Copies of this chain bind each other. A is one copy, B any other.
Amino acid sequence: MPAESVPLPAGFSAAGLHCGVKSDSAKYDLALFVSARPATAAGVFTQNVVVGAPVTVSRERVPTAAARAVVVNSGCSNVSTGERGLENAREMTRLIACDLKCREEDVAICSTGVIGQFLKMDAIRPGLSRLVESLGDSPEHLRAAAEGMRTTDTFPKLSTRTLASRDGGEARVTGAGKGAAMIAPNMATMLAVVTTDAALAPEAADRLLRAAVDRSFNRISVDGHESTSDTVLLLANGAAGECDEEALAAALNAVCEDLATDIIRDAEGATHFVTIDVAGLSTDADATTIARAVADSPLVKTAIHGADPNWGRIISAAGYAGPSFDPGRFDLDINGHAVCRGGVPTEFDEATVSEAIRSHRDCTLTLNFNDGPGTCRFWTCDLTAEYVRLNADYTT
């Protein structure tokens, strides 16, 4: 579904606008998601030792059955800002709570942008009032909110799914996300706010969200750099009633996977979208560890960028990942072309495989270790000179 027509679930409204955190007035830097009635909320956060003030604040507030809103700013992550940063984050939620006539604790917060700078509260305070005034439940309002979460993203990331509710009606799951670099599993500088009108208890919301994150946002990497701000929040307001849990999990998984793969499709400077399928390890965890090492190797990423079927870089990355395997049982296919069987090269035609990489934006690496049931699907991108250019001059 095109971003301009993604709807919100029943009972939710959203807003986005520019207040001045970013210097370019054409770029939105505030977003708000509101449930008309108290909603269940769950969150999954970065595992970084260093976390932004908004992560500290939001972690204290979920899971809950009384959430009303999520406020987001982009352009400044409010990380490494000490007590002043914490107070700023709390004040942002307090101002929203005031306008919504709810408790400060019922508002969660996310921030993304440069680390080590203080929020421009003089711009944010009046911006928050305007934000509440501009709330609405149309796809345009949702899209404005998604715009307000963007940093270097080149497009807003939205996804939606529907499912049947138990009373014969329809429930909806809709997510908005952001992220394009500082992206690693567990998680990335990625934010996502997922809303649903299905009813969910806090315990179930927490469990379903963790499972969905584990197979989506925890399986992407742009540059292996885990951020201090990563946050995924789920709000479930029950406006559409109860749903079958399995169907709801499937919809939530699908929305999270859409947003996660959109982050990789929008990865800074990337020219290839790479799917890594790993099979044949003892456990899924081992398969994921190996997939991540392959995804994060600059040598694998540059080889794909150069359409170079230099598969030794892939097997060597697998070899330093940690899990043990028999190198003599390893099979590898690149875009469906067998390049390695039983740990030794096949007689593949380099020019053919190179052309298969060059001529498709999507690239698939299929690794089979032929020694167990463990599998993982992981997504990454190539490494380009444009990524270097974009990141060599971000703050200054």
Interface set of A (CB-CB < 8 Å, partner B): 47-51, 77, 79-82, 84, 114-117, 181-182, 184, 186, 223-228, 296-299, 302-303, 305-313, 315-320, 323-325, 327-328, 330, 340, 342-345, 350, 354, 383-385, 387-389, 391-396
Taking each of A302, A383, A394, which has the highest tally of chain B beta carbons within 10 Å of its own beta carbon? Answer: A302
Q: Report the Cα distance A26→B49, complex, angstroms.
A: 51
Q: Which residues of B contact A354 (CB under 8 A)?
A: 396
The 6 sampled A-B contact pairs (Cβ below 8 Å) are A80-B315, A117-B345, A228-B315, A298-B391, A306-B391, A383-B388
Find out whether the CB atom of B319 lies under 8 angstroms from the CB atom of A49. yes
Oligomeric state, in copies = 2
Contact B316 A228 (CB under 8 A): yes
Distance (whole angstroms) from the CB of A280 to the closest CB of chain B: 14
**Chain B min CB distance to A76 (Å):** 10
Give Cα A354 to B225, complex, Å. 22
Contact assessment for A302 and B392 in the assembled complex, using a CB-CB cutoff below 8 Å? yes
B345 touching A116, Cβ below 8 Å: yes
Residues of B within 8 A of A385 (CB): 385, 388-389
Query: In chain B, what residue has the closest Cβ to A339?
Result: B116
Q: When chains A and B are docked, how far (Å) is the Cα of A84 from the Cα of B186?
A: 42
CA of A168 to CA of B320, assembled, Å = 46
Q: For residue A223, which residue of chain B has the nearest CB?
A: B298
A312 to chain B, nearest CB (A): 2
Measured in the bound complex, the distance between the Cα atoms of B50 and A317 in whole Å is: 9
Expressed in whole angstroms, the Cα–Cα distance for A335 and B86 within the complex equals 30
Given the interface pairs A223-B298, A225-B298, A320-B49, the reply to whether A312 lies near B343 with Cβ below 8 Å is: no
- Please give the distance in Å from A221's CB to the nearest CB on chain B: 11
- A327–B80 touching, CB < 8 Å: yes
Give the Cβ gap from A88 to chain B, nearest Cβ, in Å: 13
A299–B388 alpha-carbon span in the complex (Å): 9
* Contacting pair A115 B312 (CB below 8 A): yes
CB pair A392 B298 closer than 8 Å: no
Measured between C-beta atoms, what is the minimum distance from A16 to chain B in Å? 25
* Nearest-CB residue, chain B, relative to A306: B392
Contact B392 A305 (CB under 8 A): yes
Q: A297 near B394 (CB under 8 angstroms)?
A: no
The answer to whether B50 and A82 touch across the interface, beta carbons within 8 angstroms, is no
Question: A82 — which chain B residues lie within 8 A by C-beta?
Answer: 328, 342-344
Expressed in whole angstroms, the Cα–Cα distance for A343 and B53 within the complex equals 12
- In the complex, are the beta carbons of A299 and B81 less than 8 A apart? no
Identify the closest chain B residue to A189 (Cβ): B316
Report if A182-B299 is in contact (Cβ < 8 Å); known contacts: A308-B395, A320-B48, A396-B308: yes
Chain B residue contacts of A224, Cβ below 8 A:
296-298
Query: For residue A384, which residues in chain B have a CB less than 8 angstroms away from its CB?
Result: 388
Chain B neighbourhood of A80, CB < 8 A:
312, 315, 327, 340, 343-345
Nearest chain B residue, comparing its CB with the CB of A305: B392
Within 8 Å CB of A227, what residues of B?
A: 316
Q: Which residues of B contact A302 (CB under 8 A)?
A: 387-388, 391-392
- Residues in chain B near residue A79, CB distance under 8 A: 312, 316
Smallest CB gap from A50: residue in B: B319
For A297, give the chain B residue with the smallest CB separation.
Answer: B225
Q: How far is the CB of A342 from chain B (nearest CB, A)?
A: 8
Q: Is the CB of B320 within 8 A of A226?
A: yes
Contact A114–B388 (Cβ < 8 Å) = no
Residues of B within 8 A of A48 (CB): 316, 319-320
Task: Given contact pairs A51-B327, A116-B344, A225-B320, enumerate 11 new A-B contacts (beta carbons under 8 Å).
Answer: A50-B327, A82-B344, A116-B315, A223-B298, A225-B298, A227-B316, A228-B312, A305-B388, A309-B395, A310-B395, A354-B396
